[in-house]
Amino acid sequence: MVQDKETCDIFQFDEEKVGRLKPLVESEDLKTVSGMFKVLSDETRLKIIYCLSQEERLCVCDVAHIIGASTATASHHLRQLRKMGLAKSKKEGKLNFYSLDDEHVNTLITIGVIHAREVKDRDE
């Protein structure tokens, strides 16, 4: 019989560590982070947020052309990013501009891209 190399050979846990960490993983903060990553797991929204990390602001029409979609579709994705606190919007005349909500979002995306490049380079 072949053993699964990703499990322990016996079941034993550290009560002190489990007691300290279990409340942390059940926190509202992690639920919010999970929702944020769910929104970013959509490739189109990830492309949009990456573009917003490269430019100070983009209007809905810019985003629509970048992702090759209608303005309604772009607006839908941007609205989801805004609802999760990843992007913010500002209406100027007849144009609606979006930007990253804050520097934390830029850091999150930048680190993700750097990590992806490192994994790719390591696997080559």
pLDDT digits (tens, 9 = 90+) for 19-75: 999 999 999 999 999 999 999 999 999 999 999 999 999 999 999 999 999 999 999
Q: Under a CB-based contact definition with an 8 Å cutoff, are residues 51 and 66 in contact?
A: yes
Q: Which structure tokens are listed for 116?
A: 């992806």
Q: What are 76-123's pLDDT values in tens digits?
A: 999 999 999 999 999 999 999 999 999 999 999 999 999 999 998 998
DSSP secondary structure letters along 10-30: S----HHHHHHHHHHHTSHHH
Q: Under a CB-based contact definition with an 8 Å cutoff, are residues 16 and 49 in contact?
A: no
Cα–Cα distance for residue pair 109/107, rounded to 1 Å: 6
Residue 18 has pLDDT above 60, yes or no: yes
**pLDDT (0 to 100) of residue 2:** 57
**Domains of the chain listed by start with CATH number:** 19-123 (1.10.10.10)
Identify the bridge partners of residue 59 per DSSP, sorted by sequence position: 97
Q: What does pLDDT average to over the chain?
A: 93
pLDDT class for 16, splitting at 50, 70, 90? very high
Q: Which structure tokens are listed for 52?
A: 């917003």
